[in-house]
Structure 1
Amino acid sequence: METKPESSVSYIEVKDTTVTITDEKVDVSKLTASEMYPDVDEKKLLRKMDLHIVPTLAVLYLLSFLDRGNIGNANIEGLSTDLNLVGNQYNLCLTIFFISYCVFEVPSNAVLKVLRPSIWLPIIMICWGVVMTLMGLVQGFTGLFVARFFLGMTEAGLFPGVAYYLTQWYRRGEMQFRQAMFFSAASIAGAFSGLLAFGIAKMDGVGNLEGWRWIFILEGLVTVIVAAASFFLLYDYPDTAKFLTERERLFVIHRLKYDHNATKPSETDGESGRTHIFVPENDEHGWKYFWAAFKDWQIYLHLILYYGIVVPLYGISLFLPTILSNLGYVSSKAQLMTIPIYITASVFSVIQAFFSDRVGLRSPFILVNLIFLLVGYAMAISTNPADKPGVIYAGVYIAALGVYPAFPGIVSWLSNNLSGSYKRAIGMALHIGIGNFGGAFASNIYHAKDKPRFIMGHAIELGFISLGIISLLTLVTSYRFVNNRRAKGIREGKYDNLTIDELSQMGDKNPYFRYRY
């Protein structure tokens, strides 16, 4: 095995107030960031990164999810009636959002690799804020349909962009907690959506506009204001972050390059006792990495699992107020009853993510989430709301506790198993982009003619959840098989002729890379 040339580095040891600097030749790829920069407190650095990065991203996603889901709140305040929507026109307006949303996700992440996050993300946010504001002025089906198309197009880049962006700051074992902190904004948005809709709807008649129009107008204006501020609040990448010291920047860059996807050099592989090596992550651009993402088998298995989560997710976020209002509650109470569901779900998301990162596992937690979803929807489909509306409310409550923690789990799981910066950017956009067609499915499974039980909608949700469980079990089996095959090849010396550079070019296909499950 050809190893990386040794480099002359300054090794700094800090004891109390004494700093000792020695020059010695070492292979920097065999040193962890803490060994290279022992004067940097890693836990303190992570807290600093969290405080500067995660809150801003959470606010952006809160507004994104608020703006895409508030149509459900507007609908029970009279949107369909005032716009004379008939048949499945309302469902079509929900569907078109996800079509444009999915189509533009991959191109958006490609642009993100060219433009800085602090430029691209605020630009698309201003665009969707303007669209949302103008949606409050539409006069019929055509206007609403076109507005939802452009809302999907402009919102498309935020979630896959942020999901990739976080991988440029945090290692694999730290991802889900940050993803959950970021994504918990979605469940909080659901709570805010009901609360805001309850209050804003009381503006009915102000400016000769219906209350539901003010929901769109005011929330759109808030988005534009926050987007303008985010130009100054967003940081790009560690090497340019002004809130980090020079050595902290070097520390973060080193831990991502050498600690990100490799095993520790002290670990041995099987009977031969052969030492693992660090394989630095590839950061090259190029069509071969673009196509490598499209041809990766794991992305498509993850897509099936993603559908098992995202279809119930959008089923809840788009139709929860409708489902609750058909349990016999007036619209105002139905809006307020969504709040505790979303707040509890956000708390569960963060707690689960903490333990998932702590033990380094994804699949067991996601499996529990899917079981929660099965139980919740089974309760909803088997109960007559006229007899026991509380059982259905409990069912959707349990389903929400499954779906919201699962979403950051599945996104983190795939990001953990894609190596190579450019491939990860495209692969995650592809995964989330095609996966969000699940929102188009969810938009068309709950129909007014099926109320109050919505048996067809609940049954379809159960079908997607079952597919998700099958996909999860297949992924775990496949990952274990590949990891064992790679370990066997290393023991047999099959890869001894590969250089570090060649291994880096292989990304997650290199034999020293271990899939997480």
Structure 2
Amino acid sequence: MSEHENEKHASNVLVDSEGSSHGQESTQAPYWSPEQEKRLLLLIDFQSGNAMTDNFMKEVGITQFEYNVGNQLMYLGIVLFEIPSNLVLYKVGPAIWIGFQIVAWGMDMVHTLQRGSFLGFDFQRICECGYIPAGLYTMTRFYKKDEISKRFAVFFLGNMVANAGAGLLAFGILRMRGIANLSGWQWLFLYWQLTVTQQLEGMLTIVIAVLFITLFPRSTSNPVSLAGLRLFTEEEAHIITQRVLLDDPTKKHAHTHVSREELKAVFTNWKLIAHVMTTLGSLSAIASLASFGPSIVASYGYKAVEANAMNSIGYWILIPVTLFWGWAADKWGKCGPMVMFGTFISFVFLIAQRCIAETDKVTAKYAIITVVYAFSFNWHPINGSWMALNAKSAGERSITMAILIMAANASGIVGGQIFQASDAPNYKVGWSVSVALSCIGFVSSVVANVQYWKLNRLNKKKGNTGFVYHP
């Protein structure tokens, strides 16, 4: 740097994200150029991409009872251990904790091959359950306020692609009916049973873990991976850290751990209730569709094989819709309205689906359920970024992300039994329950918007120039 740049560098030093001081805090303009910042942002995006292994196949080949118990243990582990996981993340850092979780998941995939190990390893997923909240929180440390929503949206694409791809995969395999005198469902069953398939998936996950450990930086201020690879120069590391702290000083790590005060602040934060209820209501309303969607489409009169492919179309549409939602939330700086609008669209089309459930309008039924998929959880990543932006400290933000994913997984338990065989084929009760849950989610999103609007107005009226809630 030139002498003039060095002087500006010295005058703009903040406390870094790890809490170590390099000088006096300042609110002056950054000394680096927009071109430097844009180039570093692209590099950060590349590094973050290595952490986006958000979806893995489940073990099959066991009785329904064993499978259900295994899933119950998995959900129990997730709900109970999300917060402890992010406490560990805050203490040891993302490079160590996320890297460990990906390795553990890969080992699970390689070794979960027998009935006895299914239940044990599913409960051992408590070691891996914090991957998503860990990933979300880590991104908040690398990006500014107007860069978070679109990155959160991209982060969830792994889940969407997996849901969309599963239907196409089933469509292809089920067409093998008659080969070797086996039916289509037997070929699908054998595919998931193949030890080599399970091991390949597990080994691929471990390879991803190695790449993550090799490439992902320990922190913004110490951009050296666990493998010793330095990803940014000292000046670049300084820019990455300071650009985030200048944008949002609450992202400073004032402690090496989440303090008791921060834990108390989260658990007494009544404003999170609306976010949790939005997640529980709106996600529970569509949770069963992941399992029953193909059967519902088939009940409209389509062939079972075709129903799997047709069911995936909505998920493919969901991908660009979610990306747009994230881009728009960052562009306009309004997470709340985007969440509210997303839950409203889902609510409206669930009402439409219920209204024609007892009719013979097959094409209309399929068109509407496709739109329901397309707007099923495009708002969910934005709700997460909204919660993160309104956290008042780094520790609070870490625990808040864990609560978000706890609510998301709890919705799978709440909505898992909506569609019952006794209610087939029209599922009048099932669609009615979905509408009711979606209504709860939409109303909660409205409450969330109103509460921040009123709080900001109240603070402004009192002349309080402190924390401003993100709309």
Q: Do the structures match in fold with TM over 0.5?
A: yes
Correspondence for 1:255: 243
Q: How many angstroms does 1:134 deviate by?
A: 5.8
Aligned ranges for residues 250-289 of structure 1 at < 5 Å? 250-260=238-248, 281-284=252-255, 285=257, 286-289=259-262
Query: Is contact 2:282–2:440 with CA below 8 Å preserved after alignment?
Result: no
Correspondence for 1:361: 334
Q: Deviations over 1:206-264 (max 9, x none)?
A: 9x986325336526632442333323335132223232222121112112223115xxx
Aligned ranges for residues 89-488 of structure 1 at < 5 Å? 94-132=71-109, 137-138=114-115, 146=119, 149-150=122-123, 153-199=126-172, 211-215=188-192, 218=197, 221-233=200-212, 234-235=215-216, 236-241=218-223, 242-260=230-248, 281-284=252-255, 285=257, 286-384=259-357, 387-488=360-461
Q: How many angstroms does 1:354 deviate by?
A: 0.7
Q: Deviations over 1:65-109 (max 9, x none)?
A: xx36xx8xx8xxxx7xx84x48xx876665443222211211211
Taking a change above 3 Å as real, the CA distance of residues 120 and 474 of structure 1, as seen in their structure-2 partners, is same
For residues 23 and 111 of structure 1, the distance between their equivalents in structure 2, rounded to whole angstroms, comes to: 33
Correspondence for 1:515: 469
Taking a change above 3 Å as real, the CA distance of residues 441 and 20 of structure 1, as seen in their structure-2 partners, is closer
Q: How many angstroms does 1:22 deviate by?
A: 6.6
Query: Is contact 2:316–2:374 with CA below 8 Å preserved after alignment?
Result: no
Letter in 2 for 1:109: N
Query: Is contact 2:30–2:243 with CA below 8 Å preserved after alignment?
Result: no
Secondary structure of 2:142's aligned partner:
coil
For residues 446 and 414 of structure 2, the distance between their equivalents in structure 1, rounded to whole angstroms, comes to: 23
For residues 36 and 399 of structure 1, the distance between their equivalents in structure 2, rounded to whole angstroms, comes to: 47
Correspondence for 2:18: none
Correspondence for 1:495: none
Letter in 1 for 2:234: E
For residues 352 and 216 of structure 1, the distance between their equivalents in structure 2, rounded to whole angstroms, comes to: 38
Q: How many angstroms does 1:305 deviate by?
A: 0.9
Q: Does 1:37 align with 2:32?
A: yes
For residues 37 and 415 of structure 1, the distance between their equivalents in structure 2, rounded to whole angstroms, comes to: 26
TM-score norm. by structure 1 comes to 0.76
Query: Is contact 2:78–2:406 with CA below 8 Å preserved after alignment?
Result: yes
Letter in 1 for 2:95: S
For residues 173 and 327 of structure 1, the distance between their equivalents in structure 2, rounded to whole angstroms, comes to: 44
Letter in 2 for 1:514: V
Query: Is contact 1:12–1:37 with CA below 8 Å preserved after alignment?
Result: no
Correspondence for 1:57: 51
For residues 347 and 447 of structure 1, the distance between their equivalents in structure 2, rounded to whole angstroms, comes to: 32
For residues 344 and 359 of structure 1, the distance between their equivalents in structure 2, rounded to whole angstroms, comes to: 23
Query: Is contact 2:278–2:440 with CA below 8 Å preserved after alignment?
Result: yes
Letter in 2 for 1:453: N
Identity of matched residues, %: 21
Structure 2: gaps (5+ residues)? 14-23, 224-229
Q: How many angstroms does 1:40 deviate by?
A: 6.0
For residues 190 and 396 of structure 1, the distance between their equivalents in structure 2, rounded to whole angstroms, comes to: 15
Q: How many angstroms does 1:195 deviate by?
A: 2.3
Letter in 1 for 2:148: M
Correspondence for 1:507: none
Q: How many angstroms does 1:176 deviate by?
A: 0.6
Q: Deviations over 1:456-512 (max 9, x none)?
A: 222222112111222122222211222123223336xxxxxxxxxxxxxxxxxxx52
Secondary structure of 1:238's aligned partner:
coil
Query: Is contact 1:105–1:433 with CA below 8 Å preserved after alignment?
Result: yes
Q: How many angstroms does 1:125 deviate by?
A: 2.9
Q: Deviations over 1:166-185 (max 9, x none)?
A: 11111222111000011122
CA RMSD of aligned residues (A): 3.3
For residues 40 and 316 of structure 2, the distance between their equivalents in structure 1, rounded to whole angstroms, comes to: 29
Query: Is contact 2:337–2:449 with CA below 8 Å preserved after alignment?
Result: no
Query: Is contact 2:149–2:330 with CA below 8 Å preserved after alignment?
Result: yes
For residues 24 and 191 of structure 1, the distance between their equivalents in structure 2, rounded to whole angstroms, comes to: 51
Taking a change above 3 Å as real, the CA distance of residues 150 and 202 of structure 1, as seen in their structure-2 partners, is farther
Structure 1 residues 473-482 or 215-224, which shifts more? 215-224
For residues 482 and 253 of structure 1, the distance between their equivalents in structure 2, rounded to whole angstroms, comes to: 30
For residues 399 and 97 of structure 1, the distance between their equivalents in structure 2, rounded to whole angstroms, comes to: 27
Query: Is contact 1:184–1:404 with CA below 8 Å preserved after alignment?
Result: no
Taking a change above 3 Å as real, the CA distance of residues 213 and 134 of structure 1, as seen in their structure-2 partners, is farther
Correspondence for 1:5: none
Query: Is contact 1:324–1:334 with CA below 8 Å preserved after alignment?
Result: yes
Taking a change above 3 Å as real, the CA distance of residues 375 and 195 of structure 1, as seen in their structure-2 partners, is same
Q: How many angstroms does 1:43 deviate by?
A: 1.8
Query: Is contact 2:346–2:376 with CA below 8 Å preserved after alignment?
Result: yes
Structure 1 residues 174-183 or 368-377, which shifts more? 368-377
For residues 302 and 408 of structure 2, the distance between their equivalents in structure 1, rounded to whole angstroms, comes to: 33
Correspondence for 2:19: none
Letter in 2 for 1:486: N
Q: How many angstroms does 1:29 deviate by?
A: 3.5
- The aligned length equals 443
